[in-house]
Amino acid sequence: MIFSTPKSEDTLRFNDEVKIVTDKLSYSKLFLLESPKYKVENIEIAPNIITEEPNIVHFSLHGKKNKGLVFSDRYENASIVNLIEFKNTLDILGGAKIDCFIFNVCHSNEFAKLASTYATYAIGMNDLINEPDAAVAFSEGFYSMLKVVDNIETAFRAAVNLLYNRRIQLKQADRKEDYKVPELFKNGDLLLDAEILNLK
């Protein structure tokens, strides 16, 4: 899990998300949560992935619409990484075998679409996340299922269904309902979302 929040941005619920994932993967025979990485700079992504060799790379960051992923620099100031810059990072990984990239990040679906051409799957968000509850709830649903079933598609369905069933109260009327935000990609194509899952 890769976390990063600059001083200028609202603090995300990193500890809650780590606690949820740790709890859901405890005693799992399929997956193990490696040491989470905090305050990660963009240049540190590839070395961390190459060193740890994870099955799943999970990002918990802020995302800016039409701009990119918000990392921290060495001074904890905002450093926005656009799609081209992130592609360069993915190219460095070479033949690293990744089952899934998860972008638990607002406005990250284009990054997931790209990442799904480097991994088996990728999950991104097509709008704002109703932070902090929805982001943590998505992780809870996803990893609860992944703990018992080695299947990314099934885990994604479980996460979206959890959001659908909880119907987290929107803070702003112009935001999408949370269950409509996550998207699952494979080979650069949209594979699953709330509409495909017939969640109205």
Show me where the domains of the chain are located: 2-192
DSSP assignment of 101-155 equals: EEE-STT-HHHHHHHTTTSSEEEEESS---TTHHHHHHHHHHHHHHTT---HHHH
What mean pLDDT is predicted for residues 172-191?
Answer: 87
Contacts of 171 (CB under 8 A, 6+ apart): 130
Min mean pLDDT across 39-43, 64-68, 134-138 is at 39-43
Above 50 in pLDDT, residue 29?
no
Question: Confidence class of residue 137 from pLDDT cuts 50, 70 and 90?
Answer: confident
Using 50, 70 and 90 to split pLDDT, how confident is the model at 75? confident
Residues 83, 118: Cα–Cα separation, whole Å: 14
Judge residue 53's burial from the number of C-beta atoms within 10 Å of its C-beta, 0-12 exposed, 13-18 middle, 19 or more buried: exposed
Given a cut of 80, is residue 33 above it in pLDDT?
no
Q: Does domain 2-192 have CATH number 3.40.50?
A: yes
